[in-house]
Amino acid sequence: MKIEQIYTGCLAQGAYYIESNGEVAIIDPLREVQPYIDKAEAAGAKIKYIFETHFHADFVSGHVTLSEKTGAPIIYGPNAKTDFEAIIAKDGQEFKIGKLTIVVLHTPGHTMESTTYLLKDKNGKDHALFTGDTLFLGDVGRPDLAQKAAHLTQEQLAETLYDSLRNKIMPLADDVIVYPAHGAGSACGKNMMKETVDTLGNQKEMNYALRAYMTKEEFVKEVTDGLLPPPEYFPLNVKMNKEGYKDIEEVIAQGENALSPDAFEAAANETGAVVLDTRHQSDFAKGHIPGSIFIGIDGSFAPWVGDLIKDVKQLILLIADKDRIEEVITRLSRVGFDNTLGYLDGGFEAWRKASKEYDMVTSIPATEFKQIEDDTQNDVPVFDVRKSSEFQSEHVVNANHTSLSEINDHLAEYPDNETFYVHCAGGYRSMIAASILKSRGIHNLIDVQGGFKAIKEAGVETTDYVCPSTLK
């Protein structure tokens, strides 16, 4: 028996490869499926089944393409309705993988088709649980994403989730290994642990949602408390996962279209494409195409693209290091953005050499910001673009809060003429914010390098620290 968790940090997502006696099951595959095929071929094995725990909202799964390439059927749990051929399994139905057995446990609540897969070893002993978004480590799946489809309130979905956990998962043995679909950083939960594998017994001890004597009323209140609005691209990803999508190889071929500076400029002007700059934030600050949006490939790239660009049908033109073009297109496609028109051949340097107009972001070290704060007695406009919980926990005295995910709702709050300062935790999100503000015609900003961490280390006055777990 072989179980491999294939974890993708950018999406905080875990796909699973299970192998026994030459047969393979894949659970919740990513969009680019060739690695799964290569892994099976290298082992002399055949992919027999593709299991989906639910219709994912935060990424586009590779189930359709993988099925087309291997002939393996796609399996969903009860209540799933797809536009492509799939096995809609019954609760308790069993599937054989070599000497192993996978049992379907219908666990609705996150969504109504949500299903957990119980893996039994060759002796029939319960070995592992692939929980999808039903159970995370330290948390459970948010119950507010499927309200429209299920015709239920988030409270009713939470009640359903409570029953699923109590009736299907918690009765299992403590030594069963839990393999969730996501870890810390995913927007599908709110309190996930950084670990990605655990025992069910430890989760019964550590996970607030699995308290032995927790009432349904307590569960509903705690699970729904503090939920942030889901990203707007989530329903679009669900739609693609239900209906199907283009082969990723087609998407990559379209996006790998090298454009000269003149052709790139013409394409941007004629198509209304978003110019997406994926370089490091320091490179973007030193020079970028006016109106371009920065979302660096080495940060939480795909989730921020989804959260800020929102419409998966949006046309995109890329600025990226040439050796990373395919990577960028692939990671865009993971969240459903399939309409990359091409990239700037030769990168930003080619644009500059062509004597094209470019812009910069003024960026200063935290030590310089400290001097400015001292000189003005903390009376300069400061905008913190971190999450609300980060800001509430600790922030620069007199700072304004305009979270990056909601920045377009705060544009009127930024000064028209007065210079203001922008920061996040470490510098990545503030440069995204700076790019968005400048694309909206707001140029009187200065980015503080290194974010709040550097600001605090420089000795800038901050509020007293409050543990985030105590905040409601």
Cα 80 to Cα 170: distance, rounded to the nearest angstrom: 24
Greater model confidence, 264 or 227: 264
Judge if 389 and 276 occupy the same domain: no
- Are 212 and 334 found together in one domain? no
Residue ending a domain, among 353, 387, 407, is 353
How far, in whole angstroms, is CA 240 from its chain's centroid? 16
Written as six digits, the tokens of 276 are: 């997406």
Q: Pick from 249, 254, 255: which is nearest to 343 by CA? A: 255
136 falls within a domain: yes
Residues 164 and 217 in one domain: yes
* Closest among 92, 104, 105, 99 to 121, alpha carbons compared: 99
HSE at residue 103, side-chain half, CA atoms within 13 A, is 15
For 146-156, how does the pLDDT look when each residue is reduced to its tens digit (9 = 90+)? 887 778 999 99
Answer yes or no: do 38 and 122 share one domain: yes
Contact between residue 408 and residue 232 where contact means Cβ atoms under 8 Å apart:
no
Last residue of one domain, picked from the residues 353, 372, 397: 353
Residue 433 in any domain: the answer is yes
pLDDT at 17: 98
Structure tokens at 227: 């939920």
Q: Which CATH number covers residue 308?
A: 3.40.250.10
Instruction: Check residue 146 and give its pLDDT.
Output: 84
Q: For residue 449, is it left (φ>0), alpha (ψ between -120 and 50) or beta? A: beta
Whether 212 and 251 share a structural domain: no
Whole-angstrom distance, CA of residue 134 vs CA of residue 154: 14
Whether residues 62 and 114 share a domain: the answer is: yes
Residue 305 located in a structural domain: yes
Do 131 and 22 share a structural domain? Answer: yes
CA distance 325 to 157: 41
pLDDT at 88 over 80: yes
Specify the higher pLDDT residue, 467 or 43. 43
Q: What tens digit of pLDDT does each residue of 337-375 get?
A: 999 999 999 999 999 999 999 999 999 999 999 999 999
Q: Are residues 217 and 70 in the same domain?
A: yes
Q: What is the pLDDT of residue 149?
A: 79
Report yes or no on 358 lying in a domain: no
CA–CA separation, 296 and 300 (whole Å): 8
| pLDDT for the residue numbered 170 | 98
CATH of the domain at 135: 3.60.15.10
The rounded mean pLDDT for the chain is 95
Q: What is the pLDDT of residue 353?
A: 97
Judge whether 241 lies within some domain.
no
Number of domains forming the structure of the chain: 3
469 pLDDT higher than 80: no
Please say if the pLDDT value at position 188 is more than 90.
no
pLDDT single digits (tens) 197-207: 999 999 999 99
Smallest CA-to-CA distance from 95 within 62, 54, 48 is with 48
In a domain, 237, yes or no: no
18 and 155 belong to one structural domain: yes
Q: Are residues 330 and 386 in the same domain?
A: no
Q: Which of 353, 376, 395 is the last residue of a domain?
A: 353
Residue 238 lies in a domain: no
Q: Is the pLDDT at 315 greater than 60, yes or no? A: yes
Count Cβ atoms below 10 Å from residue 183 Cβ, excluding itself.
23
* Global pTM value: 0.91
Tell me: do 340 and 207 sit in the same domain: no
pLDDT per residue as tens digits for the range 403-455 = 999 999 899 999 988 999 999 999 999 999 999 999 999 999 999 999 999 99
CA distances (Å), 396 to each of 166, 224, 238, 377, 412, in order? 44, 30, 39, 12, 21
Residue 157 lies in a domain: yes
Q: Per DSSP, what are the bridge partners of residue 97?
A: 100
Mean of the pLDDT values across residues 387-395?
Answer: 93
C-alpha–C-alpha distance, residues 301 and 431, integer Å: 13
Which residue range(s) make up the domain with 265?
A: 246-353
Residue 119 dihedral angles phi and psi, to the nearest 5°: -100, 125
Summarised one tens digit per residue, pLDDT across range 89-132 is 999 999 999 999 999 999 999 999 999 999 999 999 999 999 99
- Given a contact cutoff of 8 angstroms between Cβ atoms, the answer to whether 182 and 12 are in contact is yes
Residue 270 has pLDDT above 60, yes or no: yes
Same domain for 345 and 300: yes
- Would you say residue 472 has pLDDT above 90? no
Beta strands in 107-246 (DSSP E): 115-120, 126-132, 177-180, 198-199
| pLDDT interval class at 470 (50, 70, 90) | low
165-182 confidence digits (pLDDT tens): 999 999 999 999 999 999
Per the model's pLDDT, the better-predicted residue between 44 and 470 turns out to be 44
Segment 282-297, tens digit of pLDDT: 999 999 999 999 999 9
Report the chain's C-alpha Rg in angstroms.
24
User: What percentage of the chain reaches a pLDDT higher than 70?
Assistant: 99
Q: Mind listing the pLDDT tens digit for each residue in 54-72? A: 999 999 999 999 999 999 9
The mean pLDDT value for 70-79 works out to 98
In angstroms, what CA-CA distances link 404 with 42, 350, 362, 383?
44, 30, 19, 10
